Amino acid sequence: MQVEIKGAIQNPGVYTLKRNSSISSLIQMSGGLLENSDTSRISFNYILQDKDVVVIPEKQEVKLISINSATLEELQTLPGIGPAIAQRIMEYRKSNTFQSLEQIQNVKGIGPAMFNKIKDKICL
């Protein structure tokens, strides 16, 4: 059977494999993964079918938003942060500098649940 692999892989292309071969075999045959490969959604033991196309995605770099210097628009890219809460963060910053990420919970509208949604996307 023939299977194509592309994306964050050493040697993308079409490979001929034996029936009942897994994605793991295909990756090995194609030279292995690149350093920036994101395999979090890949099932290595998935049995391939003839004419399958496997795409190995690249890891997406997460751009952290500085709660001390982000613009109103940047703050609104955070999950659950709309114009009103973004404005409250801006107002809070006028008289306080955030010394810790947890301190953002002092802003009205940001409680523990909201903090858990944004904590991996923010920095000081």
Whether 69 and 118 share a structural domain: yes
pLDDT at residue number 78 = 94
- Residue 11 lies in domain: 2-56
Domain match, 80 and 48 both: no
Q: What is the pLDDT of residue 3?
A: 97
Residue 63 has pLDDT above 90, yes or no: no
Q: pTM of this prediction?
A: 0.54
User: pLDDT band for position 62 (50/70/90)?
Assistant: confident
Dump the DSSP string for 68-102.
Answer: TT--HHHHTTSTT--HHHHHHHHHHHHH---SSGG
What is the per-residue pLDDT across 80-122, written as a single tens digit (0 to 9) for each?
999 999 999 999 999 999 999 999 999 999 999 999 999 999 9
Per-residue pLDDT, 61: 75
Please give the single-letter amino acid code of residue 101. Answer: L
